[in-house]
Amino acid sequence: MNSTLVTQIAIYVVVAALMIFRYSRPQKMTITRMWVAPIIFTGLTAFAIWGGQQTNPAPAWAVAVAVVGGLILGAPLGILRGKHTNVRATDTPGVMYLDASWVVLALWLGAFIVRRIVQAVLPVGVTSAIVGDGLIVFAISTVVVSYYEIYHKYRALEHAAGQI
């Protein structure tokens, strides 16, 4: 096993451990804090795509197809997840409880793991770029859209409670 693969596996294990700790229990959070994880995930996703382009360049159109395809396919799942996430308002305006959800962890890490497998199996080029990058954009779009739905769900609860 080469050192790059070992390093990637170690990074995935550390990130998974941190995410399991965070997402395996109900969370009390502010609206602002709710957006921290999606922003970090989006940045890491963009960095991963950029890094993939540095080591195994693909045409810009292939990356664009992957990004657009991932966004289009991930958004409906994000809407579904957001609508089914249990959100509770608190007495403090701008603060909510979110139930535990391992779906975010499974989607995002699963997409990175499958992307790595695709890159190892398929020859370097357009197909591996579209499939691999599309998978991680699919995962991050699911996460971002689900948080957007959760935000709207919370705002409706706040409005119904007269906090707005």
Residue at 125: amino acid letter: G
Give me the residue label for tokens 């994000």.
78
pLDDT at site 5:
67
> What CA–CA distances, in Å, run from 85 to 31, 54, 73, 79, 106?
15, 37, 19, 10, 15
Q: Closest Cα to residue 98, out of 23, 18, 19, 20? A: 23
pLDDT at site 90:
86
pLDDT at site 2:
66
Task: Report the C-alpha gap between 158 and 92 in whole angstroms.
Answer: 10
pLDDT at site 101:
72
Per-residue pLDDT of the chain (164 residues; tens, 9 = 90+): 567 767 767 777 777 777 777 767 788 889 998 898 889 889 988 988 888 888 888 888 989 999 999 999 999 999 998 998 889 888 888 899 888 777 767 777 788 788 888 877 877 778 888 888 899 899 899 989 999 999 999 999 888 877 66
State phi, psi for 121 to the nearest 5 degrees.
-90, -45
Secondary structure element (H or E) that encloses residue 30, with its range: strand 27-30
Domain boundaries, the chain: 3-160
